Amino acid sequence: MPKMKTKSGAKKRFTLTGTGKIKRKHAFKSHILTKKTTKQKRNLTHATLVSSADMNRVKDMLNL
């Protein structure tokens, strides 16, 4: 049986932390930023962790 391939889109978007959690960036930070407040844009800058509800799906895409 051939090796499982990692989804290349997921490979670019998610990173694994040292403790095994998966880190992601926020959406809504690329364009149409004039109507968003400075606070909104600042809070979208920081990375966050993938929620537990999505964890299994992301792990399948990354073959973890």
| 26 within 8 A of 4, measured Cβ to Cβ | no
Q: Tell me the pTM.
A: 0.81
- Residue pLDDT, tens place only, 1-53: 899 999 999 999 999 999 999 999 999 999 999 999 999 999 999 999 999 99
Specify the CATH class of 8-62 in words. Answer: few secondary structures
- Residue pLDDT, tens place only, 39-63: 999 999 999 999 999 999 999 999 9
Between the two ends of the chain, the Cα-to-Cα distance in Å is 18
Torsion of CA 25, 26, 29, 34, to 10 degrees: -150
